[in-house]
Amino acid sequence: MIEINTTADIGAIEVVTQQHRGHPPEFWAEKCTARICGISENAEPHIRQQAEAYRLAIYSAILYYIKESINSERCTMKNILENQGHSELANILKELK
């Protein structure tokens, strides 16, 4: 008889929800920034300070481009709706912010 014992560690699972909406761009920018640049708790103070400044720069750039992407997608959807003859829906989409 062969017996195999295995274990698996999938890591921490996080669940974050919103009520009646999706997550805002700031949420996704923070998640992306955390994935790109982690800062060791054991880092020297001057290194930590530089890393925090870098993290803020990364966060700001990501947030900017996420917002631009949302605006671009809205523009695309508005144009698709107008081209399909749904000008009222296109105007509603244009007003949403």
Question: Is the per-residue pLDDT at 47 higher than 70?
Answer: yes
Domains: count for the chain: 1
pLDDT tens-digit profile of 61-78? 999 999 999 999 999 999
Tokens coding 78: 């508005």
Give a yes or no: residue 12 inside a domain: no
Could you give the CA distance from residue 22 to residue 17 in angstroms, rounded to a whole number? 8
Predicted local distance difference test score (pLDDT) of residue 1: 62
* Residue with tokens 């955390």, as numbered in its chain: 34
Q: Sorting pLDDT into bands at 50, 70 and 90, what band is 18?
A: confident
Residue 75 belongs to domain spanning: 26-32+43-95
Q: Sorting pLDDT into bands at 50, 70 and 90, what band is 11?
A: confident
Give a yes or no: residue 54 inside a domain: yes
**67 burial level (CB within 10 Å; 0-12, 13-18, 19+):** middle
Predicted local distance difference test score (pLDDT) of residue 92: 93
The predicted model scores a pTM of 0.77
Give a yes or no: residue 72 inside a domain: yes
Could you give the CA distance from residue 93 to residue 78 in angstroms, rounded to a whole number? 6
Task: Return the DSSP state at 19.
Answer: S
Give a yes or no: residue 5 inside a domain: no
Give a yes or no: residue 48 inside a domain: yes
